Each structure stands twice: as structure tokens, then as C-alpha cells.
Amino acid sequence: MHRRSFLGTIPAAALLGAGLPQQASAREEFPSRTLRLIVPLAPGGGTDVVSRLVANEFGRILGQSMVVENQSGGSGTIGMTTVIRALPDGYTLLTGTPSLSINPSLRSDMKFDPLKDLQPVSLLTRVPYVLVASTASRFKSVQDLLTAARAAPGTITIGSPGIGSGGHLAAELFQLTAGIKLVHIPYKGTSPAMVDLRGGRIDLLFGTTPAVAQFVKSGMLVPLGMTSMARTAILPDVPTIHESGVPGFETYSWYGIWAPAKTPRAIVDRLNETIRAALRQPSVLAAIKADGGEPEPASPEDTGQFLAQEIAKWRKVIVSAGIKPE
């Protein structure tokens, strides 16, 4: 299976050498106590699972425990703010998600700039969405959907976990790319949206592979297409939307690690190296792939560039679709 990287995986810079005594010292001393990983979402979701997997490996590799703290609320801004306000010493880290790239264009009450107030460390993994339909609907393929949507614009419903969620933005990007108009139905979370989809009260949903794969495999939902550019091992028979009549369409949910701005580079590189080591562990790889994801370690520079590109991408979608926060 062909696999595209976010931006490539550039090796972390060497930390030791002539002219860098301060960095060498920082590396020798870090870490000397427990680290905190702030997850800006409630426990139990995909972000939480990936964060705890990585945290366990951090503790093993670094010889210091890493505690995962869930701080949900404000579309992730509460947890983000905790990290931004923390000392830039590498002991308080953030699990970043697509909300880090969506909120700057959606929320007028944001008091920070993620590109300036956070230090990128590394990406962790990306997970594709699946466009799924209710078994009560008449749609069996992306082409079925496109034909119906073009014949009767604004009559087909698509749910999401809420306004500004990754699933919502995927739906808006799909409509803009395909040149169709659907009716968005926001819910307060993935679970109620899935209940109504399975009950036939809405027609469609973009769900991540961990959220929908079990329902697809059991026949409770109809898979129309993957949002990845290549088919995935978890649902190998499901075509991509790209190959199904919407060329170039691609989007993912993703996770990464950020630190407070001004965290010393030696510590950032130490963390980056640890993430790369954690993502190579068979147990972590197996868990990520079981959910349909791919490990995506990246240099701090590539991680920052990726976030800047995601912010620009979603800003265009939000403005074009006229999305307003709840």
C-alpha cells in the first residue's frame, strides 16, 4: 500500500558537539521528575488512547513517569491554555489535534496563537475518516451520492460531532471539492450522531476509522469512501473518495505533541527522539494500525510547517462555507 508522509521525517538534530555545552548539559539533566501530557478532550476517545500509549512508552524510555491529564472544554482551548501558561521546561506537554488548526479561524475568543505560543515537538499519527451512510439510505457508493446531491441540492443530511469538529470540516471540504450541497446536522459528540445515523434519521457522516470500522464490518453502516489517498488495511475493500469521482480529496484526523513556546531546543530534540523511539515499539505500532492509523513522526520544523498549512487550509474552508461557532 502506498503511504504518503505529512511532510517527510527529518532526523532530529544532533545534540552534542563543539560549541554546545549548554545544550549538552540540558540533555543530561532532563528529565529528572514526572512529566505531564495534557489531552484537551474528555477521556476515552482516540486522542486519549494514543496519548496514553505514547505516555507509557515515554516513561519506559526516559525513566520518568508521564501522567496524562484530560482537560476538556472550549473546543480544546482549556487544555491548550494550560500548556501555553506552563513553564517552558519540557515537563508540560500538549497532545495537539485538528482543533489546534481549526480554532484560530473559528473562535473569536481565542487568546493565543498556536504558531507563536506553542513549540512543535513532533507529529504522532494520522487517521483517515470514512464517509459512511445509513443502511436505510439509497447510497451504496460516492457516485450514488454525487448523482443524488446534484439532482436535488440541499436535501441530503450529513451529521457531525459538532460545529467546527474534524468531521464537520471534512464534510465541508468534501462539499466544496465535489461541488455539491448537503444539509449539516451538528450533534454534541460522535455517539449521538452515530445513533441517529444507524437509526436512519440522518443520511451520512464522516467518522474516523476507530469510530466506524466496527459498524462497517458488521454491516450496520454502508462505507462509501475513505478520505486517505490510498486504501487502508483496516478496510481494504473500501475505495477512496479520491478514486471515486472527487480527485484530490484528502483529509485526516491527526495527533501531535507541542510544548510551551521558548522550550530549550535541547529539550525539544530530546522529546522528539523519545517520540520516534516510542512510535517504533511493536505494541504502539500495532495499536495505531489496529485503529486504521499510521505513525507519522516528524521534525519540530516539519511539525510547525504542517500546522501552519493546516491552519491555512481550514481557514479557506471556514470562510468559503460561512461556518460560525455555536
pLDDT digit string, tens, across residues 250-305? 999 999 999 999 999 999 999 999 999 999 999 999 989 988 899 999 999 999 99
For residue 38, count other CB atoms closer than 10 A to its CB. Answer: 22
**Predicted confidence band of residue 136 (pLDDT cuts 50, 70, 90):** very high
Q: Does the pLDDT of residue 22 top 80, yes or no?
A: no
Q: How far apart are CA 267 and CA 263, in angstroms?
A: 7
Exposed, middle or buried: residue 199 (CB in 10 Å: 0-12, 13-18, 19+)?
exposed
Pair 224, 132: CB distance under 8 Å: yes
Region 21-127+252-321: CATH code: 3.40.190.150
pLDDT-derived band at 315 (thresholds 50, 70, 90) equals: very high
Strands 294-295 and 157-160: unpaired
Per-domain boundaries in the chain: 21-127+252-321, 134-244
At 23, is the pLDDT very low, low, confident or very high (cuts 50, 70, 90)? very low
User: How does DSSP assign 210-249, residue by residue?
Assistant: HHHHHHHHTTSEEEEEESSSS--SSSTTSPBSGGGT-TT-
Which pLDDT score is estimated for 18? 36
The C-alpha torsion from 281 through 283 and 287 to 288, rounded to 10°, is 10
39: amino acid identity, one letter: V
> For residue 159, which phi and psi values (nearest 5 degrees)?
-90, 170
* The residue to which cell 492509523 is assigned: 293
What percentage of the chain exceeds 70 in pLDDT?
91
Specify the pLDDT at position 107.
84
Q: Which residue has the cell 520516534?
A: 276
Lowest mean pLDDT among 36-50, 125-139, 148-162, 229-243: 36-50
Supply the DSSP symbol for 298. Answer: -
Q: Count other Cβ atoms within 10 Å, centred on residue 64.
A: 15
Residue 28 has pLDDT above 60, yes or no: no
Residue 226 has pLDDT above 60, yes or no: yes
Domains 21-127+252-321 and 134-244 share a fold: yes
Query: Which residue type does 46 have?
Result: G
Q: Tell me: pLDDT of 212 over 80.
A: yes
Under CATH, what is the fold of the domain 134-244? D-Maltodextrin-Binding Protein; domain 2 (3.40.190)
Distance (Å, whole) CA 166 – CA 27: 36
Burial of 123 (0-12, 13-18, 19+ CB in 10 A): buried
Give mean pLDDT, residues 80-105.
Answer: 95
Tell me the average pLDDT across 125-154: 96
